[in-house]
Amino acid sequence: MLDVARLRMRYGTKELGQSWRHLETVGVLGVWAVLGLVVAPLVLGRMARRESGSRVAERRERALQRVG
């Protein structure tokens, strides 16, 4: 089992101010999550617009022929 006290002593010195910054960590991860939720639909929509339906169908048929 992982000993949390030893873990804090070992890696606590690597942290700024020798403290774990939980609030800042949660904030940064939250910003990344929101940014991903905003950017992903834009990128995926742009990719879908560039791909025509016939090209998607053609690629799907080729993939199905390879599989069996």
Residues 17-38 pLDDT 10s: 667 788 988 999 999 999 999 9
- Whether 14 maps to a domain, the answer reads no
Mean pLDDT of the residues in the chain: 82
- Whether 9 maps to a domain, the answer reads no
Q: Whole domain around residue 49: which residue ranges? A: 22-67
**H-run or E-run covering 18:** none
Average pLDDT rounded to a whole number, residues 8-16: 63
C-alpha to C-alpha distance for 53 and 64, rounded to whole angstroms: 16
Whether 13 shows a pLDDT value over 60: the answer reads: no
- Whether 10 maps to a domain, the answer reads no
Burial of 8 (0-12, 13-18, 19+ CB in 10 A): middle
The domain total for the chain is 1
- Whether 16 maps to a domain, the answer reads no
Q: What is the pLDDT of residue 54?
A: 85
Helices and strands per DSSP (H, E), number in the chain? 3, 0
- Whether 6 maps to a domain, the answer reads no
- Whether 3 maps to a domain, the answer reads no
